Structure 1
């Protein structure tokens, strides 16, 4: 929980939009990759390399340096150690995708948060053309944004995949149904770490077309299938002893989530396991900050009733759907992801 104890503490919330835009500018204009390559540069060298005027260069450098993204000494600028670490370990590409996702898909709809809260609906969706009352059904009307969405969703998944792989217990399972599995990134990661398990990725046709290419590229076509179906109305296929909802149950209402979990329960054999992987909020209702701020995206854009839920909600829903032996497995990274699971036929 973040405490506000002085007016200075209000600077971040008050100018948060500007803070993000400074970060976005540094990414989009190529400042951080430039400094990663060159080590350190003066302002004139930076302006020339980025083709910016002196005024623009100074505004950008003051912004990113005040935020701690870059450092300056003797008039020469360099990336913060954290950013240099991202370039060194290969995670910069993931981070840059996330920044682009926030800038191009999320930023403008966030300005509709007040109206979304007043009307209890995803008012920001009106900024996207097409039919349907959720983002996923409207994206096909904007092919460029749809491609960006799935590319960035893959980066979001790559960011959180270490938690999923570490915390999803597939011991004893033979075949897992990956509900809303998108382009297959989660199934691919889990298949690599669990060589004895088969997977079936379930999603909309557009996502599955991408998934099949990713699965083939990963050399896992013999272990990962795809299946297009309506996850709310079509029967889930039998023959699976695990069902995974990865980053899926944040999209729907509590009632919808119980419905989906019951469908999983009906499809599973005795001893079968349902696993839910999401960003979680704390039961106390005071954080973490990541979940609190990310919730604005779910409030304004994703679907009419989407939100980040506390751990206790998933516990209640799993039990209401019939599962027992409910188990929490929080992650231990900077993102508040975790896995909560239940077993059919267990007390």
Structure 2
């Protein structure tokens, strides 16, 4: 367990202040977002030498004095801005991160566009085990069924969030994966085809089969065709949770059996029982010496508390919106599923990208 969860080092006043921030959480979030999106923080940053008055902000943004005042006064309490001696506003370090930090912005956009309205239904989701908040996005049983149908602005925030972490991890992890002399790979949960396209350009003799929901597979196929890589990527559209559908044992294009199965940021989309079921069917799709390669972010393997915090909060998105029964796992819970499915973890590599762990697994003999 991470050391920063073993002690409570806050004073009573610090703890009470944090409690008030939590109590006002929805207000705090929306104020910060509007300060960013209405360019108020940008105006203040650009006046860094002298600071910006409320009048300056109004002239640059077109907001009323009232609107600028209430937002900036709330921003003072959130330490996004500070006062100068002559009561002008200056950007703080936290305000800078709200304005410029890629991680903060991808998180904020995801929460606003994908999660915010749905989180009102969290209590219902907890009680029923169903993604009660998903109704705010569409009438599907899971969010994955509707990804290809989401409004463009929501879809953009979802995929930018999903890709932000994998894009950082992939250049590092691809070397780990293909050091195993893998030529034919089954990519389960291939999403938009980013891993498949990276693999296809990594080596001349690498062929990838994407296995995903029909809507997702079609999105990936379009991207692969645009990149001119369609001869190196095949597709196997199906509902992976349907246990009556067998996993392919060979590439539909080449007929060669799979050297390995790859799952990136995928198994966290399922409950523990579903993870075990998927892994057991993976075992039937590869030979005894084949590898199952799993890339996941576990909150308990993080070096920094900020990373663990972000991952823990993401779990609630799965609860309220994505599917109602999965999460970003504690690695010990996840590895118990791997063991139950009949696999041994032959290597664990932590610290990949911002937050990821690579598990290399083989069938137990």
The alignment's TM-score, normalised by the length of structure 2, stands at 0.78
Tell me the equivalent position of 1:318. 338
Instruction: Name the CA distance, whole Å, in 2 between partners of 1:34 and 1:199.
Output: 48
Shift of residue 85 of structure 1? 11
1:86-165 to 2 correspondences below 5 Å: 87=100, 92=102, 95-130=104-139, 132-138=140-146, 143-144=150-151, 148-149=154-155, 152-165=158-171
Tell me the equivalent position of 1:30. 39
Over the aligned positions, Cα root-mean-square deviation in angstroms equals 3.3
Tell me the equivalent position of 1:340. 359
Instruction: Name the CA distance, whole Å, in 2 between partners of 1:188 and 1:311.
Output: 28
Kept after mapping to 2: 8 A contact 1:250/1:306: yes
Residue from 199, 210, 215 that aligns with 1:206: 215
Residue from 259, 263, 270 that aligns with 1:252: 270
Instruction: Name the CA distance, whole Å, in 2 between partners of 1:69 and 1:11.
Output: 16
Residue from 311, 317, 323 that aligns with 1:291: 311
Residue from 78, 93, 110 that aligns with 1:80: 93
1:183-332 to 2 correspondences below 5 Å: 183-191=192-200, 197-233=206-242, 234-237=245-248, 238=250, 239-282=257-300, 288-331=308-351
Change (3 A) 1:82 1:64: closer
Residue from 16, 31, 47 that aligns with 2:58: 47
Instruction: Name the CA distance, whole Å, in 2 between partners of 1:248 and 1:214.
Output: 19
The alignment's TM-score, normalised by the length of structure 1, stands at 0.81
Could you report, residue by residue, the CA deviation over 1:294-335 in whole angstroms, capped at 9, with x for unpaired residues? 2211111111312222112222222222222443222266x5
Secondary structure of 2:299's match? coil
5+ residue gaps in structure 1? Answer: none
Shift of residue 291 of structure 1? 2.5
Secondary structure of 2:269's match? coil
5+ residue gaps in structure 2? Answer: 251-256
How many residues get paired?
Answer: 336
Kept after mapping to 1: 8 A contact 2:346/2:361: yes
Could you report, residue by residue, the CA deviation over 1:200-257 in whole angstroms, capped at 9, with x for unpaired residues? 2222232233323433444544433333122233222223222122222122111111
Kept after mapping to 2: 8 A contact 1:128/1:139: no
Instruction: Name the CA distance, whole Å, in 2 between partners of 1:271 and 1:33.
Output: 56
Q: After superposing the two structures, state which structure 1 stretch, 166-175 or 104-113, moved more.
A: 166-175
